[in-house]
């Protein structure tokens, strides 16, 4: 099961120079402790929510600040017991780069570095030199082989700080889910779909991706049981379906068989504590059960269960990354590169035969079933387009943003989007490792995708440079 809850360890640090009983002037501890109190309080009050928790180190000493190498193991062990998901290093003055390196190296978690802007120059003395210390701390992190994120030296009340912290929270969620990923695969790919090949063993060894494969014969048996034992639920669901979609001349029996697939995938996901399924959507279920699964894929997204098309494991992984980038607040879609706009040289049709969630539907159109498959245009706006892909042992993450634009009406679930240079992007797909299957999510999460690649053995590839 994907998780969007985060526990962030706050690690305030300061410079310590042996000068009893107390250092005065530059690096005086009083000013660092004042920074610590203000920033920790501000972060907890402004950024704590139902899925975000912060853990401080007030247990350590009267200051709640780390400055001694002797305390590094105490702090690391405490954060481990607290089961934090990421570390936030707060440079309260110049800091102590060595303690940061020791703690971060031991934890091996996504790490964020920031320090408040130097503002106190009273009496001709600088008391903090926070920015100067950030340069030193960053080099110690690099030498300890600790990937890290950074918010520029700024005031904590600034928009820059808020944007940087929210981005880091998204990236930490991506890393958390990427390292604990389970994907259910129903059926295996059919002969013509060689483009969606993937290396299951390599995904397991390299990224700990766990794939559970389910036999189609078992699926057909469970579908028959659902259809025979959950008739009242199917009848009620049918009423909702007809009120929501124009179902044309499809029989009630056929519609209920399509709705039974919703219950099958939902039960499968619950039994296996997983909400990502790589689905069989061409011949197996249709031939064995006598109904297409595309409607189920559309409706399941509304329940927070995501079924990707055509056994595409790399698309499933992309969907997980996009879900995590939004911290579960927005739903991924699977609009593949389909055809160029006849009236716009930089516009492309992102389309698939029905799996898009209703949440994205254009308010002006009523969804309908075309050849049993959901059909509607998506609402306008900015979308992130992405693709996780492997080639010759290397893994890539393509990411960028596109905006919707006008285009011809068509069937299926779709949107027309505009690129800065579509021929260049087309060539990237043709000559690069990617196939035409893409994933999208509403909003721009390009920077989150790029930052995530620091923490995984994945190369970021900008969609448009």
Residue 173 is part of a domain; what is its CATH number?
A: 3.40.50.1070
Domain boundary among 178, 210, 237: 178
Q: In the structure, what pLDDT confidence band is assigned to residue 253 with cuts at 50, 70 and 90?
A: very high
Position 19 scores a pLDDT of 67
> Nearest-5° angle of CA 459, CA 463, CA 465?
95
Q: In the structure, what pLDDT confidence band is assigned to residue 22 with cuts at 50, 70 and 90?
A: confident
Same domain membership, residue 185 and residue 147: no
Position 389 scores a pLDDT of 97
Same domain membership, residue 263 and residue 191: yes
Position 187 scores a pLDDT of 84
391 within some domain:
yes
Residue ranges of E strands in 202-252: 209-214
Q: At residue 84, does pLDDT exceed 70?
A: yes
Report the C-alpha gap between 264 and 389 in whole angstroms: 29
- Rounded to the nearest 10 degrees, how much is the dihedral formed by the CA atoms of 11, 17, 22, 27? -60
Nearest in space to 128 (alpha carbons), one of 141, 139, 140, 119: 119
* Least confident segment among 195-199, 256-260, 269-273, 294-298: 195-199
Q: At residue 180, does pLDDT exceed 90?
A: no
Report the C-alpha gap between 52 and 324 in whole angstroms: 14
Report the C-alpha gap between 349 and 338 in whole angstroms: 5
1 within some domain:
no
Same domain membership, residue 224 and residue 172: no
Is the separation of the CB atoms in 66 and 103 below 8 Å? yes
Is the four-CA dihedral 458, 461, 463, 465 of positive or negative sign? positive
Position 121 scores a pLDDT of 86
Helix %, strand %, coil % of the chain (to 5): 40, 25, 35
Domain boundary among 178, 208, 224: 178
Same domain membership, residue 236 and residue 136: no
Q: 256 vs 100, 111, 136, 232, 309, CA distance in Å?
A: 59, 50, 64, 11, 21
> DSSP of 40-84, one letter per residue?
HHHHHHHH-BTTEEEE--TTSSSS--B--GGGHHHHHHHHHHHT-
Same domain membership, residue 189 and residue 170: no
Same domain membership, residue 347 and residue 235: yes
Same domain membership, residue 194 and residue 162: no
Share of the chain above pLDDT 90, in %: 88
Better-predicted residue by pLDDT, 126 or 5: 5
Distance of CA 80 to the CA centre of its chain: 24
Domain boundary among 178, 196, 228: 178
Same domain membership, residue 252 and residue 135: no
Work out the widest C-alpha separation in the chain, in whole angstroms: 88
Pairing mode of beta strands 111-114, 52-55: unpaired
Same domain membership, residue 230 and residue 334: yes
Same domain membership, residue 268 and residue 342: yes
124 within some domain:
yes
Query: Stretch 169-194: mean pLDDT, rounded?
Result: 90
Query: Stretch 18-27: mean pLDDT, rounded?
Result: 75
Nearest in space to 278 (alpha carbons), one of 310, 323, 320, 318: 310
Q: Look over the chain and give the mean of its residue pLDDT values, rounded to a whole number.
A: 95
Q: Assign residue 187 a region: left if phi > 0, alpha if psi is -120 to 50, beta otherwise? A: left
Same domain membership, residue 252 and residue 400: yes
Position 312 scores a pLDDT of 93
Report the C-alpha gap between 102 and 155 in whole angstroms: 27
What does the pLDDT look like over 123-143, one tens digit per residue? 788 989 999 999 999 999 999
3-class DSSP state for residue 5?
coil
Query: Stretch 437-447: mean pLDDT, rounded?
Result: 98
Enter the tokens of residue 399. 């990411």
Total of domains in the chain: 2
* Least confident segment among 25-39, 86-100, 239-253, 441-455: 25-39
Same domain membership, residue 304 and residue 200: yes
Q: At residue 159, does pLDDT exceed 70?
A: yes
Share of the chain above pLDDT 70, in %: 99
Residue 287 is part of a domain; what is its CATH number?
A: 3.20.14
What does the pLDDT look like over 292-351, one tens digit per residue? 999 999 999 999 999 998 889 999 999 999 999 999 999 999 999 999 999 999 999 999
What does the pLDDT look like over 358-407, one tens digit per residue? 999 999 999 999 999 999 999 999 999 999 999 999 999 999 999 999 99
Instruction: Note the residue count of the chain.
Output: 465
Nearest in space to 298 (alpha carbons), one of 281, 321, 284, 282: 281
145 within some domain:
yes
Is the separation of the CB atoms in 327 and 169 below 8 Å? yes
Report the C-alpha gap between 315 and 317 in whole angstroms: 5
Q: How many CB atoms lie within 10 A of CB 52?
A: 20
Is the separation of the CB atoms in 324 and 176 below 8 Å? yes
197 within some domain:
yes
Report the C-alpha gap between 265 and 319 in whole angstroms: 17
Name the residue range of residue 151's domain.
6-178
58 within some domain:
yes
Q: In the structure, what pLDDT confidence band is assigned to residue 198 with cuts at 50, 70 and 90?
A: very high
Terminal Cα distance for the chain, rounded: 35
Pairing mode of beta strands 181-186, 413-418: unpaired
Q: Where are the alpha helices (DSSP H) in 83-129?
A: 97-107
48 within some domain:
yes
């Amino acid at each position: 099961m994907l998780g969007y809850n985060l526990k962030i360890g706050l690690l305030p640090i300061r410079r310590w120079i042996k000068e009893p009983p107390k250092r005065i002037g530059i690096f005086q501890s009083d000013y660092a402790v004042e920074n610590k109190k203000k920033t920790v309080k501000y972060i907890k009050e402004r950024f704590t929510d139902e899925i975000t928790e912060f853990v401080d180190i007030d247990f350590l000493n009267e200051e709640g600040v780390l400055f001694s190498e002797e305390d590094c193991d105490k702090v690391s062990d405490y954060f481990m017991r607290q089961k934090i998901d990421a570390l936030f290093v707060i440079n309260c003055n110049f800091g102590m780069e060595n303690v940061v390196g020791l703690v971060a190296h031991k934890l091996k978690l996504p790490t964020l570095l920031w320090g408040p802007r130097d503002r106190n120059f009273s009496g001709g003395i600088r008391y903090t030199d926070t920015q100067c210390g950030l340069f030193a701390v960053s080099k110690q992190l690099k030498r300890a082989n600790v990937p890290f994120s950074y918010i520029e030296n700024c005031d904590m009340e600034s928009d820059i700080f808020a944007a940087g912290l929210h981005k880091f929270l998204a990236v930490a969620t991506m890393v958390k889910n990427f390292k604990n990923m389970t994907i259910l695969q129903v059926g295996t790919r059919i002969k013509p779909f060689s483009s969606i090949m993937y290396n299951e063993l390599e995904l397991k060894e390299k990224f700990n991706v766990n794939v559970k494969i389910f036999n189609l014969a078992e699926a057909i048996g469970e579908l028959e049981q659902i259809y025979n034992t959950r008739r009242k639920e199917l009848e009620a669901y049918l009423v909702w379906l007809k009120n929501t979609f124009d179902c044309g001349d499809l029989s009630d029996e056929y519609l209920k068989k399509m709705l039974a697939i919703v219950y099958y995938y939902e039960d499968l996901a619950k039994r296996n504590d997983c909400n990502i399924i790589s689905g069989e959507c061409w011949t197996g279920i249709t031939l064995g059960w006598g109904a297409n699964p595309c409607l189920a894929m559309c409706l399941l997204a509304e329940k927070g269960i995501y079924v990707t098309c055509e056994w595409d494991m790399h698309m499933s992984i992309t969907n997980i990354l996009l879900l995590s980038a939004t911290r579960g607040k927005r739903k991924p879609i699977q609009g593949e590169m389909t055809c160029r706009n006849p009236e716009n040289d930089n516009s492309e049709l992102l389309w698939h035969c029905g799996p898009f969630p209703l949440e994205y539907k254009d308010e002006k159109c009523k969804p309908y079933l075309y050849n049993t498959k959901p059909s509607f245009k998506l609402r306008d706006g900015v979308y992130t387009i992405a693709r996780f892909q492997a080639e010759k042992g290397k893994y890539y993450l393509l990411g960028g943003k596109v905006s919707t634009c006008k285009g011809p009406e068509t069937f299926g679930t779709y949107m027309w989007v505009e690129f800065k240079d579509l021929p260049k992007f087309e060539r990237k797909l043709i000559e690069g490792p990617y196939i035409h299957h893409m994933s999208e999510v509403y909003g721009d999460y390009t920077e989150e995708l790029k930052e995530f690649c620091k923490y995984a053995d994945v190369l970021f590839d900008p969609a448009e440079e």
